[in-house]
Amino acid sequence: MAAFSSPSSPVVSPPAASADAVIAVVVSYNTGAGITQVVQAALAECSRVIVVDNGSDAETLAAIDDAGGAGAVHVIRNPDNRGLAPAQNQGIAAALAAGATAVLLLDHDSVVQPGLVAALGAALANGAAVAAPDLDLGPNGRRTTFLPADHRWRVRRVAAQDLAGRPVAFAIASGSLIPRQTLARVGLMRDAFAIDYVDIDFCLRVIAAGGRVEVVPTARLHHRLGDPGRRAGVRVTNHSVGRRFTIWRNRVVLWREWAGRMPGWVVSDMAAGAVDLVRILWAEQNRLAKLAAAWRGLIAGLVRRPAAAPALDQTPAA
């Protein structure tokens, strides 16, 4: 399946960035004109934007071309959909080759709010290995909460404004600011996960390496999670059948890998998984197919383990 393949096309580096540059990496796929707002908001905060497109339609490609100017937007065009993690790795490699000191990861439905990079940069300057924003999930979203990572067994979730600089177990990749030192230490995103649990896997590896993942309440990101809505009085994300398979495969792989080191997160995610199954059964469309896909994913996660994340190539450029 194309979405699970590793990046194979050569990375063509954008022009060299200025010192202390933050470069945004946006992964796009069939967004249409909506990508324009994402790119322009990122340009207002970063020295430049690298868009890695996963085989989008002509409308999306035209919108990307119209979004930037004066060489500020560099586009890597994949012929097909290679998945989020492989595309992120392509963009990260290109950003670092251009001299970025930190990379801001963005999904194609995430709009940076003013001051985000400065707020996240301050957290990095204070010792965070990854800094992430608080999320605005829109009218159909819920109040975002995070799992503190200062106790191996603690599973209580708290709102971003109540964290007061405490480390968290994970934050979503979109909106995260990651310095090149962190990438050099823990490696890149896990290609084989494609999209689901990629950010959680990365954050857990950062913590295992002695780093701190921090959420900055004053940094804000408008973000859309799946296709949110409410049905039968229950909030639903409406992920596809295929996504239900990869969600469960990847989460079980991480349960196996982190039960001994991060039991609090594993317990919390098991509880979240149980709630997710009830939500699918009660309120989502195509529920039986989704439950069957979740079961297949659970079995796949138990019997095999996707490849580990690639290390960052730190070979000096010729």
Q: What is the pLDDT of residues 17-58, one digit of tens each?
A: 544 699 999 999 999 999 999 999 999 999 999 999 999 999
Say what the pLDDT of residue 8 is. 35
Is 137 within 8 Å of 144 (Cβ atoms)? yes
Distance CA 90, CA 188 (A): 10
- If the chain, 318 residues long, is cut into consecutive pieces of 10 residues, what is the mean pLDDT of each piece? 32 49 95 92 94 95 81 91 95 95 95 94 95 75 62 64 78 94 96 93 94 91 64 58 93 94 88 89 85 94 87 62
Hey, where are the domains in the chain? 2-226, 230-303
Element (H, E) at 111: strand 110-112
Best CA proximity match to 152, nearest among 243, 42, 263: 263
pLDDT confidence of residue 235: 58
CA distance 117 to 102: 10
Q: Which residues pair with 235 in a beta bridge?
A: 230
Q: What is the pTM of this model?
A: 0.86
Q: Indicate the DSSP class of residue 308.
A: P
Single-letter residue type at 257: E
What single string gives the DSSP state of each residue in 114-162? TTHHHHHHHHHHTT-SEEEEEEE--TT----EE-B-SSTT----EEGGG
Separation between Cα atoms, residue 231 and residue 237, nearest integer Å: 10
Strand order in the sheet with 48-54: 73-78, 48-54, 22-28, 102-107, 177-179, 130-136, 213-223, 110-112
CATH number of 2-226: 3.90.550.10
Place of tokens 């967004």: 31
Specify the pLDDT at position 16.
52
Residues 6 or more apart in contact with residue 158 via CB below 8 angstroms: 145, 146, 148
What's the burial of 8, exposed, middle or buried (CB within 10 Å: 0-12/13-18/19+)? Answer: exposed
The alpha carbons of the chain give a radius of gyration, in whole angstroms, of 19
pLDDT at 10: 36
pLDDT of 273-300, one tens digit each? 998 898 888 877 888 999 999 999 999 9
